[in-house]
Structure 1
Amino acid sequence: MPILRLLLILLVSIASPAIAGDLNLKLVDTDGRPVNDAVISVRPAGGIPAGPIRFPWPTAMVQQNVAFVPHVLIVPVGATVSFPNKDKVRHHVYSFSRPAKFEIKLFGQDETRSYTFKTPGAVALGCNIHDQMTGFIKVVDTPFATKSDSAGAARIAGMATGTAQVTIWHPLLRSKDNEIVLNIPIPGSGAASKTVPLALRSAR
């Protein structure tokens, strides 16, 4: 009967697990050396799942030892990032980047300020007092995002099967907006693995 057949199809679809695969990337420079702190963000073939985006790391950019820690931070659109000052000197945080132009005027040791990032993109940070301080906040609109580690490795798990749009960003990447976009097929199970060479500018 048509109604019974429809009910059986619905029951099977509810009981069946979603088909999903993983992505393993190895990022290297043109000499084959690993590249760390590259941001990988993915839009799977099935789109972005509904609901708020959360990552397991803190939404905080600490000023410590006259540096931004971490040097690169990934946050979702709409995240409020705290800027705790753990130094004995005062800092004045600012950005002129298109996704977020702001400044946090002088604040001292053990004080914290915050800013909410509403637009996706890369935000370069500086300190008006200490010119050597640089940091980056990558604001993303996908939960499928991570950074490469010291070995240049990055892994994103649990994406829908099909061709995914993979964006790789690094502050020294020699390309428009410091990023490249790849189309990588994600298998129904297991992992897609790929080594990606990146042409980087020399660090100043």
Structure 2
Amino acid sequence: MTKVFSTLLLAGLCALSMATAQAAGLNAQVFDRQGKPLANAVITLKGGTGPAPVLKASMDQRDQEFVPRVLAVHTGTQVSFPNSDDIRHQVYSFSPTKRFELRLYEKTPSEPVLFDKPGLVVLGCNIHDWMLGYIYVTDDPWYGVTDENGTLKLDALPPGRYTATLWHFKSEDMQPIPGGDLEIPAAGLSKRFDLDVEVKPEDLPARPAPGAFGDAFHKAAH
């Protein structure tokens, strides 16, 4: 190994070590008004230099439900809508952010749908009224959806100041909610968020009463 190569290798390892040491992270947990962990809450962060966004995503249809029920994507993402059921679905949205319709189909449509504007998209199925899905499209570089424990981990954030935004389909008029400013140190940050929402059993993936899509769309559109 030559001296020049050794020097370059050492410099590269040092740069990698410094970059790793400077990578922070956010461990967030969201709770509802009763203090229970809140699943399907979207958290976005504005600030810092974000990674190159992944501009492909998927929302499946299984057991006559959208899976995941809530999907967060970056503006410019192409979303595919595979159908894993043994029956046909007809996915559509009238939301101003993205209007589209996928005619009755099985398996996977040949072309994904481009979500090119930020905002909320409420999804329905023209055949199964109880099917409801949500795609939250954001310009913010950091984003994600909480799991069943209300938790979300965002890794490799540069230390610095960020502005958080939260959203949940039970938020008033389904509008985004300011989450305040966060100072994320190099060691990372654990943060609790509280949303004044309540998820009732009938709000969970099951089979809501007919008209559920119309109610959700009306809130999102207005």
What TM-score results when the alignment is normalised by the length of structure 1?
Answer: 0.80
What residue in structure 2 maps to residue 74 of structure 1?
A: 72
The structure-2 alpha-carbon separation of the partners of 1:185 and 1:74, relative to structure 1 and needing over 3 Å to count, comes to closer
Q: Are positions 1:54 and 2:54 aligned together?
A: yes
Q: Are positions 1:23 and 2:26 aligned together?
A: yes
> Which amino acid in the other structure matches residue 23 of structure 1?
L
The structure-2 alpha-carbon separation of the partners of 1:111 and 1:189, relative to structure 1 and needing over 3 Å to count, comes to closer
> Which amino acid in the other structure matches residue 190 of structure 1?
A
Output the CA distance in 1 between the equivalents of 2:53 and 2:184. Answer: 24
Q: Are positions 1:186 and 2:183 aligned together?
A: yes
What residue in structure 1 maps to residue 212 of structure 2?
A: none
Shift of 1:67: 0.8
User: Matched residue of 2:156: which SS?
Assistant: strand
How many residue pairs were aligned? 185
Question: RMSD over aligned Cα, in angstroms?
Answer: 2.4
What residue in structure 1 maps to residue 155 of structure 2?
A: 157
What residue in structure 2 maps to residue 5 of structure 1?
A: none
> Which amino acid in the other structure matches residue 178 of structure 2?
V
Higher helix share: 2
2:158/2:186 contact within 8 Å kept: no
* Structure 1, 164-173 or 191-200: larger mean CA deviation: 191-200
Q: Are positions 1:195 and 2:192 aligned together?
A: yes
Shift of 1:177: 4.2
Unaligned runs of 5+ in 2: 1-10, 209-222
Which of 135, 138, 141 is residue 136 of structure 2 equivalent to? 138
Shift of 1:94: 0.7
Higher strand share: 1
User: Matched residue of 2:165: which SS?
Assistant: strand
User: Matched residue of 2:79: which SS?
Assistant: strand
What TM-score results when the alignment is normalised by the length of structure 2?
Answer: 0.74
2:78/2:113 contact within 8 Å kept: yes
Unaligned runs of 5+ in 1: 1-10
Output the CA distance in 2 between the equivalents of 1:111 and 1:168. Answer: 31
> Which amino acid in the other structure matches residue 89 of structure 1?
I
Identity of aligned residues (%): 35
> Which amino acid in the other structure matches residue 129 of structure 1?
I
Output the CA distance in 2 between the equivalents of 1:85 and 1:104. Answer: 11
What residue in structure 2 maps to residue 173 of structure 1?
A: 171
* Structure 1, 69-78 or 158-167: larger mean CA deviation: 158-167
Output the CA distance in 2 between the equivalents of 1:184 and 1:93. Answer: 37
1:36/1:148 contact within 8 Å kept: yes
